Chain A
Amino acid sequence: MLNWFKSKKKNYPDFWLEYLNHFKSKKRTIIKETRFVAFDTETTGFDRKEDRILSIGAVSITKKTIQVNQSLELYIEQDIFKPETVKIHGILKHGSLEKISEIEAIKKFLAYIKDSDLVAHHAGFDKNMVNEMLLRHNLGKLKNKFIDTGHLYNKSKHIIYRENLKEHYSLDDLCEELNVPKTDRHTATGDALITAIIFLKILSRLDKRKNLEWDYLLK
């Protein structure tokens, strides 16, 4: 039994091992200098077992700067296709976009995120979708720390306003609240960029307390 587990672990492909390797030497740097990856997925629906990821968009943030040429934009070939969701994400089954296989997408995504802290809006959903995809290819779960912008926004509000806060903030709500233009909503990369900017804005509000600590951010 123990052997079986061991042998499976040995069968992990190189790219996964390489991904895991990043975490062995991970050290915490100061928040300002840390690389964050904001990402978003477009899916065929909300069921983590049944639905599939059609597109992943990601941007990285270092020192409050997003480099456009360092962004990630993946479109994934899927057999499952739900016409009713096309109106949201706009990705056609046989559109003109250049698509890659799921395993290729995983390789690219992992190579991109490395050990960075991931930022997503309602991070739980995206995390589950990605993990499910990894599982389908017999890989482990993501090891990265997650930061949820919805949750973080709540924390950024002063205690006296907390009771007026909504239970659930959509990305659109935050765009309104934080005055972020809603260009390219519902494309993975567009939402990733919006999430990144929202993250930076919330961070600066939290940073007003100056000694923002990792514990607080990741909690």
Chain B
Amino acid sequence: MKNSIAERVADFLNRYPPFNMISSQDLLQIAKEVNIVYLEKGDTVYNQDDSFNHHFFIVRDGAINLHYTLNDSDKNLNINDVGDVFGVRPLIAKENYKHTATANEESIVYGIPIDLFQSITYNNSQVSKYLVTAFATNAYDPYTTEENSKVFVDYLPNTANDVANFQTADYTKNPVTCNAKTSLRDAAIKMSTLKIGCIIVVDDQKKPLGIITNSDIKNKIATGKFPIETEVTNIMSSPVFTGKKGLTIADAQLQMIKNSIGHLCITHDGTTNTKIIGILTHHDILVALGNSPSVILKEIKRANRTKKLRTARLKANTLLKSYLEQNIPLSHIVKIMAQINDAISFKVVEIAVNRMPTPPPTSFAWLALGSQGRHEQLLFTDQDNALIFEDVDTDKYEDTKNYFLELSKRITERLHKIGFEYCEADMMASNPEWCKSASEWQTQFKNWILQPDEKAVLLSSIFFDYNYIYGNKYLVENLTETIFNTIDNTSQFFKFLGRDAIKSPSPVGFFKKFVVEQNGEQKDLFNIKNRALMPLIDSARLLVLINKIKGINNTAERYEKMAELEPENKALYNSCAYAFKALSKFKAKQGLLHKNSGKFIALESLTKEEKLKLRRCFKPINEIQETLKYKFDL
């Protein structure tokens, strides 16, 4: 029998996760069994300590307040509005409710029968992951470790089409060929000297007749089937598979998969009847798709021009995108991206040094600062860098400094070409302020630490997270040593840093509204960097400086180290590390989506589950700020 109401209920459910991850047929089946519950303001759906219901709920209209009583005081957990799922505890654990759900205003909720829902979604991992996230968000025990492992895995279907697929395949022009009369031995010698994996056999008009690859030689010669002096035509694979100039990567890949081949001959008209102009290998496709970090790193190492570095860095972006989509752990992604960024910076410095008219007058070190220094730079962001050069005699100082300023200028220009924006605050080695001799730097840091002021604190976020990239490592180690020795003599600096770390208020305000920018160009946008990431970064830096932890720059790793050092705060530190990773990933995804740094987020553009995730990450921020306040008596 037709059930129009069920259809309408299904239409509604289909707009919200996790129901939008269920097939429409299954959804209708669920919708038929839904209870539509009307609630007046103040009505309760279930009470804390009630035994579990046979339904969980989604808000259809109005808002539901989740709260719980602890030590006789009522604490608010969350307010759920239209599309929010609540009361999911029975789905995960058959135990009593841990909070009370009360209508905050006149509301209508749909009750979803748990047994039916579970039987339908039994094999749907996306759905269960979403519900675990919803559960964790509404659970007031913020650091349950068993949740942490599951919460931030992704449940979004992979819908993004890899743009690279539709790029034109970049094939090798002028492939190595031989004519039909060549002996296999000669062909093999040619392949060996040119270090190539295949050779095309062509007729006198250069039309491709066949192809000989390494595996042909292995299978047909090394096994003794043919003598080594045989003519190439005897062992070549023929006819060859061909493609036209301008073939897309996707098409090329498809043809290779379909015919289980590794090479495509590119000819003028795409058939064997015209002259060969190139060869496209499976390896070319892998490189073009950029889905291998080792390929990218190799490309960077081989690069002799800035342009090639730019291509490599763009491929790294594609790689990043696919990693994020594949749910590869963020710590792994970060390490790979850091490797790539460092390799690029290294190469840029190397190229620039080589192109200077004279070699450097003395040794120097190139430092990455800020996010790259912390190894947290996923996307192209601003370049922040500095240069230390070894102390020279006073009379040579001027010339030396000018040399390194010129070098820095060339380096930053190249980095800019590659895609790293100039730093707005001009915190780059091309600025005389950030291109100094070793002793100047030491004085500089001493001043910042011993006479902290607003400016010093501002700079601390950039300069205290430096990372050695190129040159004389000893210079950098010395500087670190000086900093830690100086810090020993003061506590005032920590207070400054601490105050800075807690200055941004909690990212979530009253009634779970995100705190958005109030004015300026970014009005009404949520600044994920300032509001969420910076408090975590600043707190982590302060903690490692106090505990004199050297050599760990990455924020998540800093928290992990702190968890080791202070087992009593382990849960908090781990949750900070986790939140940091999740937020970085979020920022990177937003950045890829909108082709910017991902710093500002338009909240309306977020899906329900994204908001859910974000909110979940904010809890540890509050906690760590509270801890710092207490520790430093702020």
A residues at B contact (CB < 8 Å): 57, 59, 64-69, 71, 73, 75, 97-98, 179, 181, 183-184, 187, 189-190, 193, 197, 200-201, 204, 207
Task: Select from chain A the residue with minimum beta-carbon distance to B32.
Answer: A69
| B5–A59 CB distance below 8 A | yes
Q: Are A197 and B108 in contact (CB under 8 A)?
A: yes
Is B38 a contact of A64 with CB atoms below 8 Å? yes
CA distance A69 to B5 in the complex (A): 9
Residues of A within 8 A of B35 (CB): 65-68
- A26 CA to B5 CA, complexed, in Å: 30
Q: What residues of chain B lie closer than 8 Å to A184, measured between beta carbons? A: 4-5, 8
**Interface bits B331-372 vs A (CB < 8 Å: 1, else 0):** 000000000000000000000000000000000000000000
Interface residues of B in 8-55 (CB under 8 A from A): 8-9, 11, 31-40, 43
Q: If the complex has contacts A98-B1, A187-B4, are A68 and B36 also in contact, measured as CB distance less than 8 A?
A: yes
For residue B37, which residue of chain A has the nearest CB? A65
Collect the chain A residues with CB atoms within 8 Å of residue B40's CB: 204, 207
Q: Name the distance in Å between A204's Cβ and chain B's nearest Cβ.
A: 4
Q: Does B106 contact A (CB under 8 A)?
A: yes
11 CB contacts below 8 A, A to B, read A64-B43, A65-B35, A65-B111, A66-B36, A67-B36, A68-B35, A73-B3, A75-B2, A190-B8, A193-B5, A204-B40
Q: Bound complex: CA of A160 vs CA of B191, how far in Å?
A: 99
Interface size on B, residues (CB 8 A): 24
Per the bound structure, the CA–CA distance linking A211 and B32 in Å amounts to: 35
B108 surroundings in chain A (CB, below 8 A): 197
Residues of B within 8 A of A98 (CB): 1-2
The residue from B5, B32, B37, B111 contacting A189, defined by CB atoms under 8 A apart: B5
Name B55's closest neighbour in chain A (CB-CB): A65
User: Which of A64, A71, A179 lies in contact with B3, CB distance below 8 A?
Assistant: A71
Q: Is the interface of A mostly helix, strand, loop or mixed?
A: mixed
Structural contact, A69 and B33, CB atoms closer than 8 A: yes
Q: Tell whether, in the assembled complex, residue A68 and residue B31 are in contact, meaning their CB atoms are under 8 Å apart.
A: yes
Cα-based distance from A97 to B33 in the complex (angstroms): 22
Q: Complex: how many Å from CA A66 to CA B60? A: 13
Interchain CA distance A64-B32 in the complex, whole Å: 18
Cα-based distance from A7 to B35 in the complex (angstroms): 45
Kindly identify which residue among B4, B5, B39 contacts A64, using a CB–CB cutoff of 8 Å: B39
- In chain B, positions 524-540 with a C-beta closer than 8 Å to chain A are none
Residues of A within 8 A of B32 (CB): 68-69
Residues of B contacting A183 in the complex (Cβ-Cβ under 8 angstroms): 8, 11
A-chain residues with CB within 8 Å of residue B8 when the two chains form the complex? 183-184, 190, 193
The residue among A57, A66, A197 with the most chain B CB atoms within 10 A of its own CB is A66
The minimal Cβ–Cβ distance linking A95 to chain B, given in whole angstroms, is 11
User: A-facing mask of B77-119, CB < 8 A → 1, else 0?
Assistant: 0000000000000000000000000000010100100000000
Known: A68-B32, A69-B32, A69-B33. A201 touches B4 (CB 8 A): no
With A59-B5, A68-B3 known, 8 other A-B pairs at CB within 8 A are A65-B35, A66-B37, A67-B35, A68-B9, A97-B2, A181-B61, A184-B5, A204-B106
Which residues of chain A come closer than 8 Å to B39, judged between CB atoms? 64
A73 touches B1 (CB 8 A): yes
Asked if B6 is at the interface (CB within 8 A of a chain A CB), the reply is yes
Which residues in chain B, 139-196, are within 8 Å of chain A measured between CB atoms?
Answer: none
Q: Is the CB of A197 within 8 A of B6?
A: no
Q: Are A73 and B2 in contact (CB under 8 A)?
A: yes
| Nearest CB of chain A from residue B47's CB, rounded to whole Å | 16
Distance from B120 Cβ to chain A, minimum over Cβ atoms (Å): 15
Tell me how far the C-beta of B536 lies from the nearest C-beta in chain A, rounded to whole angstroms. 41
Q: Is the CB of B4 within 8 A of A189?
A: yes
Q: Are A65 and B5 in contact (CB under 8 A)?
A: no
Contact call B5/A68, Cβ cutoff below 8 A: yes
Q: In the bound complex, what is the Cα–Cα distance between A204 and B40 (angstroms)?
A: 7
Chain B residue at smallest Cβ distance from A180: B61
Partner of A57, one of B4, B11, B61: B4
Minimum distance in angstroms from A78 CB to a CB of chain B: 17
B37 in contact with A190 (CB, 8 Å): no
The 5 closest A-B pairs by CB, nearest first: A66-B36, A200-B38, A204-B40, A189-B4, A64-B38
Residues of A within 8 A of B111 (CB): 65
List, in ascending order, chain A residues with CB within 8 A of B38's CB. 64-66, 197, 200-201, 204
CB distance from A116 to the nearest CB of B (A): 17
Contact A201 B106 (CB under 8 A): yes
